[in-house]
Amino acid sequence: MKFTLSWLKDHLETDATLDEICERLTAIGLEVEDVDDKAAYKPFVIAKVLSAEKHPSADRLKVLMVDAGGDKPVQVVCGAPNARAGLVGALARPGTYVPGLDVTLAVGNIRGVESHGMMCSEKELNMSEAHDGIIDLPEDAPVGTPFATYAGLDDPMIEINLTPNRPDCTSIFGIARDLAASGLGTLKQPKAPDFAVSGETPVEVKIDLDDENLCPGFALRLVRGVKNGPSPAWMQTRLKAIGLRPINALVDITNYMTFDQGRPMHVFDAAKVAGNLTVRRANEGEEILALDTRTYTLSPANVVIADDNGVESIGGIMGGEHSGCDENTTDVLIESALWDPINIAKSGRSLGIITDARYRFERGVDPSYMMPGLERTTQLVLDLCGGTAAKAKVAGYKGYDARVVDFPFSEVKRLTGLNVSVEESQKILTALGFEIVSGDEARATVAVPSWRPDVDGKADLVEEVMRIHGVDQIRPEPLEHQGAVNSRILTTLQIRTRTAKRALASRGMLEAVTWSFIPEDQAKLFGGGKPQLKLANPIAADMSDMRPSLLPGLLTAAQRNADKGFGDVAIFEVSGTYEGDTPEAQRRVAGGIRRGTASLAGAGKAWSNAAKGGGKPVDVYDAKADALAVIEACGLPMGNVQVEQGGPAWYHPGRSGTIKMGPKVVLGHFGEFHPNTLSALDVSGALCGFEVYLDAMPEPKKKATRTKPALELSPFQMVKRDFAFVVDRTVDAGTLIKAATTADRKLVSGVSVFDVFEGPSLGENKKSIAIEVLIQPVDKTLTDEDFDALTKKIVANVEKSTGGILRA
Amino acid sequence: MSDLENLKTSLLAEIAAAADEPAIEAVRVAALGKKGSVSELLKTLGSMTPEERQSRGAAINALKTEVTEALAARKTVLREAAINARLAAETLDVTLPVCSSPAERGRIHPISQIVDEITAIFADMGFSIAEGPDIETDYYNFTALNFPEGHPAREMHDTFFFQPDENGERKVLRTHTSPVQVRTMETQKPPIRIVIPGKTYRQDSDATHSPMFHQVEGLVIDKKSHVGNIRWVLEEFCKAFFEVDNVTMRFRPSFFPFTEPSFEVDIQCDRSSGPIVKFGEGTDWMEILGCGMVHPNVLRAGGLDPDEYQGFAWGMGLDRIAMLKYGMPDLRDFFNADVRWMSHYGFRPLDMPTLFGGLSA
């Protein structure tokens, strides 16, 4: 919402400075977004051209001697075709910033002639687009005085960022009312219209709507015999100052009313209206050529004003070109109507029309001002265009029933902590137009003014009192402390989310945050693409589906990095994936990928990697280690976690695994990727990845005590024994380890694999798995016989579960 | 006696000449071994008269002692020399670079770090962390938060919609974290003190807007909290978060459907040095958050009587305060997963924000 200082002062008697006014506006909730004090125009002075000689070495330039009110004339080189002796215009001296050119002038030398300034065009002063010549003022314009004052360009412009709850301040009068209530001046009451009425408005108005709220009032008046030329300079200057283009007096008056009173009006050229006017829903497919010269196709969702020719205007949004007023208009029909805010908002949105009228009607136009607005507009028409006003026709108007709010004054203290006296609260509310209908020292029944549709409860009144009393009066007050020391505040899932991130970052991975929405084909590739997870209005075609997995985002991100020359990438994300559109279907997943040689030990060709066996392409085991690291960090008992061969379809079927806890709970997957997945994603290189479902992890059991179980240390020496078994190629190492471990649960304290070997010497489809078994005697030192017995047990158990034979 | 003297001289010379441990061992065997020159002399002691033993025997023993000591001394010298030689041979070039530790290479995304910082601060004020789903119903995202159907404020949210279901209802991607307010009120009895960080979505994209972004908001519900308490909480938060001794804040009346009264809050700062914003000094104002007293209709939607309970809420852009504190110039980079950006703006995994250790290093 834009306005100028002088326009505001039409309604507000005040001595306050521009700064004071702006500061107060912001303080009472009308945030000043922009102020232009027009200081930039100050250096321009009115100057008279004394002589204009042809430039000695340029045909199209002239050398002017200009009287700018100083002792000596100023020499200026000028190329304008209208530059001539006797012309009075606007001069800018060196050092002046010229807004239309975005340059600061210096003394120039143009083809050997010094130029000490510039005679400006309207465009150079940002007054208009006119650039055919320099400004040409009447001869009596006072030479040597500021041009801006003369041209009305020095009126400061203020723009406020209006919140959608304040339709009353879509009018300059309303802004003045708020400022006056805050004590920054006195509100000037508008002069009552005073004109004679003669004859009837010969057009009938019929409201033909199934829902009377769509148009709760429609007033129309004919003014005959008007002369519609340009509006007066003062009105044009004001409209231009707030960015509106003057059209003609009748149209300018409606625009003026829109901003001055927040009352959008419409004018029809009566000669172009055929028959009577009907307010109705548009027919499906009905068209209107609107004032913006675009044709809109309407539907019954839009409310229109129609005559015998068809639709003449989209109610409350934009008039039609056909019945618009131009310089030939002699009889004008002035419309002042009320419209349903919700319907206006919907219509405006669906038609894609943004107008100052829609802006106001969708916020709520003062219903009580429908008739006064018509009167005031009529007065302006009569004053500026002459003519005779007929008696107005009014349809459907029921007046305004004031809402009342029961308001205990103590609410101000309860909600804001402010001590505001009852007297002051009453005074503030009254100044804003609220009426104290009845009440006592403790509470009052307050009637809400017609221009404040946003106020309907106690809290709203508290806000009114508070903002006018002064928000800066509210002092910070500590929140009550709830206890001595806080207990744990994070949930298990929150803790695990946090831990998973730090655990993965500790493994040299970088945390990424990628989009929650991905392309449809990628979603389908990872088990997603459900219709309920498809956005109806994606911001881009490739951001259409809620992701079923973190992996596509991470894999494509890795490729983007590789394309920039960073091929060894280890990245992860801990965030949501979506299996459905319910809260329960949103998973919490830790996922990560490694590309190239980005293993835990370190990436790339560094000599230290090669020396330690690193620097090789990442594989399924890198991903497995990452996945298990997350599960370990989250505190799950690893003894209950098992790994099975194989994973979802997007993984390499022979190089992927599923991590489970018990038979049912799937904790995650890991592996290298299926070549089809990679080519569909258009990514390449050595890649492995994993996803761990943090939300699938069971809550830890509540412990009765924080005490750890007693530590029992055996006094007998731990012994290590190596075994090598020849097994079928398909046998899992996991099965073999389990068989060795369970051979004697008391003595075997650990089993690790130290070699896996395949070769012709073993036979076809055979492999050798070599294990080291840790044997911890508990009650005595073991004899050779004891060891023999244990060895037999281990060999027998391995043979039983894997068919493996102890390698000779 | 000269034979003993000669032997001694020759043995000591051999000892001194022994160049390594095998050589000295050979000298030892030749002198003190079973058939060694000194051992042979010692064998003669048995056949000596007591007088001979007293003179010559003592001399032989002295010779043995002297030779033994000389052998030991030479052995020590040789062992030292051998060790020194081995150590010299084992010398490695310690200036060869080694791999950095994984924990030194890894990074935490600024968003996660900021959430931890915020958690540390609000935990100290008795708040817990609440979360909610990204895919919301129209009810929780708008209606329960007092956005009337068709109200312009609803349009300002640039909402992402899903396809309507069989009942014509369409889910939305939450446009703010506020739906968690009502979800929390429905399940938790006051007093409530929660902070809600999370992903939010709006159909908007430029240097300061992204279709996906993050918000953090707070909610306090009890029987006495008022605007003065909001001021205190937010001032304490901003001081702690931006790690400055003082902040000056300006509350401006504003409008949000879910609070009444509502405020926008500016923080005084110095923006004179280009993109770097300094808080706690300067004369500029920067809007950083919105807040207000929870609207009675929102309390009712949460099943609470607005005449009995009251409280306040505030919200701000997580990415934005991250940018303000740590200086990232463009919001869109947050979601690009560029390893250079993550390495530069990310945080080391062991740099965990705490109040006792400071939020940032």
Q: What is the pLDDT of residues A239-249, one digit of tens each?
A: 988 999 999 99
**Is A523 part of the contact surface with chain B (CB cutoff 8 Å)?**
no
Contact call for A345 and B155, based on CB within 8 A: yes
Q: Which residue has the higher pLDDT, A373 or B59?
A: A373
pLDDT of res. A484: 67
The CA-atom distances, in angstroms, between B255 and each of A25, A366, B313 are: 15, 20, 13
Three-point CA angle B210, B326, B341, nearest 5°: 65
Q: How much is the pTM?
A: 0.87
* Cβ contacts of B186 on chain A, cutoff 8 Å: none
**Is A294 part of the contact surface with chain B (CB cutoff 8 Å)?**
no
- Is the pLDDT score of A585 beyond 90? yes
Window B:68-107, CB contacts with A under 8 Å: 96-100, 102-103, 105-107
What SS3 state is found at A577? strand
A52: left (phi over 0), alpha (psi -120 to 50) or beta: beta
- Is the pLDDT score of A16 beyond 70? yes
Alpha carbon distance A54, A635 (integer Å): 92
CB-nearest to A477 from B162, B228, B349 is B228
Alpha carbon distance A587, A577 (integer Å): 5
- A444-478 burial string, b = 16+ CB within 10 Å, else e? bebbbbbbbbbbebbbbbbbbbbbbbebeebebbe
Reading the block at residue A561, the tokens are 């990095």
Reading the block at residue A734, the tokens are 């996991």
Q: Which residue has the higher pLDDT, B83 or B96?
A: B83
Question: What is the secondary structure of A160-204 as a DSSP string?
Answer: EE--TT-GGGGSHHHHHHHHHHTTSSEEPPPPPP---EEEE----
Length of chain B: 361
Do residues A505 and A573 lie in contact, with contact meaning Cβ atoms separated by under 8 Å? no
What SS3 state is found at B67? helix
pLDDT of res. A559: 98
In one-letter notation, the amino acid at residue B39 is S
Q: Which range (A520-529, A592-601, A686-695, B198-207) has the least confidence?
A: B198-207
Mean pLDDT of A509-519: 97
Q: Which residue of B has its CA nearest to A602?
A: B99
Q: Which residue of B has its CA nearest to A553?
A: B337
- Is the pLDDT score of A721 beyond 80? yes
Mean pLDDT of A672-676: 97
| Percent with pLDDT over 90 in chain B | 64
DSSP state of B295: P
A29: left (phi over 0), alpha (psi -120 to 50) or beta: left
Question: What is the secondary structure of A297-335 as a DSSP string?
Answer: E--TTSEEEEETTEEEEETTTEEBSTT---TT--SEEEE
Do residues A608 and B96 lie in contact, with contact meaning Cβ atoms separated by under 8 Å? yes
Do residues B350 and A499 lie in contact, with contact meaning Cβ atoms separated by under 8 Å? no
- Is the pLDDT score of A614 beyond 70? no
**Is A538 part of the contact surface with chain B (CB cutoff 8 Å)?**
yes
First to last CA, chain A: 93
Mean pLDDT of A344-372: 94
| Alpha-carbon distance A197 to nearest alpha carbon in chain B (angstroms) | 39
pLDDT of res. B90: 93
Burial of A422 (0-12, 13-18, 19+ CB in 10 A): middle
Which ipTM was obtained for this model? 0.89
* Cβ contacts of B201 on chain A, cutoff 8 Å: 516
Reading the block at residue A640, the tokens are 């209950």
Query: Mind listing the pLDDT tens digit for each residue in A125-163?
Result: 887 777 788 988 888 889 989 988 888 788 999 999 999
**Is A471 part of the contact surface with chain B (CB cutoff 8 Å)?**
yes
Contact call for A505 and B123, based on CB within 8 A: no
Contact call for B161 and A536, based on CB within 8 A: yes
pLDDT of res. A323: 94
Mean pLDDT of B145-154: 77
Query: Mind listing the pLDDT tens digit for each residue in B40-62?
Result: 888 888 888 888 888 888 888 88
Window B:314-333, CB contacts with A under 8 Å: none
Selected for mutation to probe chain B from A211, A349, A488, A506 (highest B CB count within 10 Å) is A506
CB-nearest to B161 from A517, A537, A560 is A537
* Cβ contacts of B131 on chain A, cutoff 8 Å: 494
Contact call for B162 and A534, based on CB within 8 A: yes
- B136-169 burial string, b = 16+ CB within 10 Å, else e? bbbebbbbbbbbeebbbbbbebebbebeeeeeee
**Is B283 part of the contact surface with chain A (CB cutoff 8 Å)?**
no
Do residues B75 and B18 lie in contact, with contact meaning Cβ atoms separated by under 8 Å? no
**Is A181 part of the contact surface with chain B (CB cutoff 8 Å)?**
no
- Is the pLDDT score of B361 beyond 80? no
Selected for mutation to probe chain A from B166, B223, B227 (highest A CB count within 10 Å) is B227
Contact call for A532 and B123, based on CB within 8 A: no
What SS3 state is found at B280? coil
The sign of the torsion formed by the CA atoms of A532, A537, A541, A544 equals negative
* Cβ contacts of A362 on chain B, cutoff 8 Å: 152
- Is the pLDDT score of A613 beyond 70? no
CB-nearest to A514 from B129, B337, B352 is B337
Give A122's pLDDT tier (boundaries 50, 70, 90). confident
Mean pLDDT of A40-54: 89
Mean pLDDT of A76-89: 89
What's the mean per-residue pLDDT of chain B? 91
Mean pLDDT of A409-418: 96
* Cβ contacts of A600 on chain B, cutoff 8 Å: 102
pLDDT of res. A471: 94
- Is the pLDDT score of B1 beyond 60? no
Query: Mind listing the pLDDT tens digit for each residue in B302-323?
Result: 999 999 999 999 999 999 999 9
CB-nearest to A479 from B97, B152, B233 is B233
Contact call for A534 and B163, based on CB within 8 A: yes
Q: Which residue of A has its CA nearest to B203?
A: A539
pLDDT of res. B167: 85
Length of chain A: 808
pLDDT of res. A40: 84
The sign of the torsion formed by the CA atoms of B28, B34, B40, B42 equals positive
* Cβ contacts of A494 on chain B, cutoff 8 Å: 129, 131
What's the mean per-residue pLDDT of chain A? 93
Do residues A291 and A268 lie in contact, with contact meaning Cβ atoms separated by under 8 Å? no
pLDDT of res. A328: 94
| Alpha-carbon distance A592 to nearest alpha carbon in chain B (angstroms) | 12
CB-nearest to B112 from A467, A483, A511 is A511
A388: left (phi over 0), alpha (psi -120 to 50) or beta: beta
Query: Mind listing the pLDDT tens digit for each residue in A302-334?
Result: 999 999 999 999 999 999 999 999 999 999 999
* Cβ contacts of B109 on chain A, cutoff 8 Å: 511-513
**Is B199 part of the contact surface with chain A (CB cutoff 8 Å)?**
yes
| Percent with pLDDT over 70 in chain B | 98
CB-nearest to A415 from B105, B106, B310 is B310
pLDDT of res. B284: 87
Mean pLDDT of B257-275: 89
Selected for mutation to probe chain B from A539, A577, A587 (highest B CB count within 10 Å) is A539
Alpha carbon distance A398, A363 (integer Å): 20
pLDDT of res. A128: 74
Contact call for B128 and A490, based on CB within 8 A: yes
Q: Which residue of B has its CA nearest to A612?
A: B99
Cross-strand pairs, A67: A48
- Is the pLDDT score of B283 beyond 90? no
* Cβ contacts of B103 on chain A, cutoff 8 Å: 505-506, 508
Burial of A541 (0-12, 13-18, 19+ CB in 10 A): exposed
First to last CA, chain B: 83
Q: Which range (A76-90, A505-519, B224-238) has the least confidence?
A: A76-90
* Cβ contacts of A31 on chain B, cutoff 8 Å: 252, 254, 264
Reading the block at residue A85, the tokens are 């002796």
Selected for mutation to probe chain B from A25, A31, A485, A489 (highest B CB count within 10 Å) is A489
Mean pLDDT of A529-540: 93
- Is the pLDDT score of A24 beyond 90? yes
Burial of B289 (0-12, 13-18, 19+ CB in 10 A): buried
